[in-house]
Structure 1
Amino acid sequence: MADSEMQKLIKRINELAHKAKEEELSEVEKIERKDLRAKYLQKFRESFKSQVEMMQVFDKSGKEVTPEKVRKVQRGKGIRGD
């Protein structure tokens, strides 16, 4: 999901949150809010997983200590050549 799409999603979630503080949401709005939150969490998790899969971890001496599980995923995606 593009950043602008994520921003639109967040904007609408916030609009519904502000409205919910001021007045009761309709059933349609409650369903929309639930769906938007689910989409947001799904996209957030996908993005976070992607970031973790791309990371490399180094200790203080500069030696790579990336967990083997992450290395295996990176090899599978062709990111890592070792």
Structure 2
Amino acid sequence: MEFKKVLERINFLYHKSQNEGLTEEEKKEQQELRRYYIDVIKGNFKMHLDKIEKVDTKTSKYKN
């Protein structure tokens, strides 16, 4: 599922829950979409952290 569409659906369900409430099926969908969103964000964050390399500023050499 496209990430932008996931965000749009999460926002739609949030606003619907505030205005008129959600059915049990919609609540389940909302939980699944939120879990998917969190997993994607955590995966992206981990990927960025894994690419970070420490640099020794005294010698200007990379360290592993």
- TM-score computed with the length of structure 2 as normaliser: 0.80
In 2, the alpha carbon distance for the partners of 1:10 and 1:64 equals: 41
Unmatched 5+ stretches in structure 1: 72-82
Tell me what 2:26 maps to: 29
Question: What percentage of aligned pairs have identical amino acids?
Answer: 33
Aligned residues: 64
Unmatched 5+ stretches in structure 2: none
Q: Which structure exhibits the higher relative contact order, with contacts defined as CA atoms closer than 8 Å and separated by 6 or more residues?
A: 2
Kindly report the root-mean-square deviation, in angstroms, between the aligned alpha carbons of the 2 structures.
2.3
Higher strand share: 2
In 2, the alpha carbon distance for the partners of 1:59 and 1:21 equals: 52
